[in-house]
Amino acid sequence: MRKLYAMAAVFAIVLLTFLHLRTGPDERGIEATVSRVIDGDTIELANGDVVRLIGIDAPEKNQPYNEDVLDELRKLEGKYVRMEKDVTNKDRYGRYLRYVYLGDHFVNLELVQSGLAYAYSVNPDKKHEDSFKEAERYAMENELGIWKKSDYSDCIVLEKFHYNAKGDDTKNLADEYLSIKNECGSDMEMLGWRVRNRYGYFDIPAFEMDGGSTVRIVTGNGTSSPDSVFLSRDMPIWSNKEDSMYLMDGQGRVVLEKSYRN
Ligand SMILES: [Ca+2]
Ligand SMILES: [Ca+2]
């Protein structure tokens, strides 16, 4: 009889362990130990599950502040964290989409608040979107991390932001552009400058600006000239409805920022 109990107990333990392993980090009490950091917004748990921190977009490899966000996330290694699910369980890469908490610290939010990641909420996972936006505004206002202002921010001026090209934008990419003016008082060479929309970065080919001159940064193709430089995209990059534009200098610092919603 005792043997039977023992066998039943063993069976129960095996079954529970199996269920525990099967269900992923959400359905089972949502807590786990972090084993390592994969990139600025992805971690691996002790059981091998991969978790993408949502509501944020961290700088990628070779982008400014990538090392800083990695250092920050590495503080989670070996720690026991709590995870919260929004609507979507996993992304198409099989990563669990989660908000991560270390004790009282909301890790995703604090990365945005300290300027180490952008706020980036994707439908339908928008539970904390307002908090992320607020955190980002705080980081911007205080010029933290990725929001550090460029030395050029006082004298490179946005003259025009023509995000809505004439007619169908997809067929008129030459008419989607921003114009910037050099009021820095000297000729300058812009190397490694980029623009960023809500979703990602676009490299601007090296260009020069004489003091007092204006240059158009055009979405479509064309031949660079003293007054135009081309991003050579085959799709529009600026939404006609709602977007955020950032112009960054070669150090990744913010020269210009313009958000709009129509
Ligand atoms: Ca557009
Ligand atoms: Ca249009």
Per-state percent for the chain, helix, strand, coil, to nearest 5: 25, 35, 40
What distance in angstroms lies between residue 238's CA and the mean position of ligand 1's atoms?
4
CATH number, domain containing residue 42: 2.40.50.90
Nearest ligand (C-alpha, residue 176): 1
What does the pLDDT profile of the chain (262 residues) look like in tens digits?
667 677 776 666 655 555 444 445 554 447 899 999 999 999 999 999 999 999 999 988 888 899 999 999 999 999 999 999 999 999 999 999 999 999 999 999 999 999 999 999 899 999 999 999 999 999 999 999 999 999 999 999 999 999 999 999 999 999 999 999 999 999 999 999 999 998 888 999 999 999 999 999 999 999 999 999 999 999 999 999 999 999 999 988 999 999 999 9
* pLDDT at position 24: 52
Q: Which domain holds residue 141?
A: 20-146
Is residue 256 assigned to a domain? yes
CA distance 174 to 218: 6
What distance in angstroms lies between residue 164's CA and the mean position of ligand 1's atoms?
4
Give the Å distances, CA to CA, from 183 to 82, 158, 205, 248.
50, 10, 21, 17
Domain co-membership, 213 together with 107: no
CATH number, domain containing residue 196: 2.60.40.1260
Nearest ligand (C-alpha, residue 237): 1
Domain co-membership, 119 together with 214: no
Is residue 53 assigned to a domain? yes
* pLDDT at position 233: 98
Q: Which of 146, 179, 209 is the last residue of a domain?
A: 146
Domain co-membership, 160 together with 210: yes
pLDDT tens digit sequence for 191-233: 999 999 988 889 999 999 999 999 999 999 999 999 999 999 9
* pLDDT at position 1: 61
Contact (Cβ atoms closer than 8 angstroms) between residue 177 and residue 217 = yes
Nearest ligand (C-alpha, residue 260): 1
Is residue 71 assigned to a domain? yes
Is residue 198 assigned to a domain? yes
Domain co-membership, 55 together with 76: yes
What distance in angstroms lies between residue 239's CA and the mean position of ligand 2's atoms?
10
* pLDDT at position 27: 47
Q: Which of 121, 146, 171 is the last residue of a domain?
A: 146
Domain co-membership, 168 together with 210: yes
Q: Which of 112, 146, 180 is the last residue of a domain?
A: 146
Residues identified as active-site? 52, 60, 95
What distance in angstroms lies between residue 169's CA and the mean position of ligand 1's atoms?
6
What distance in angstroms lies between residue 207's CA and the mean position of ligand 1's atoms?
23
Domain co-membership, 155 together with 222: yes
What domain count does the chain have? 2
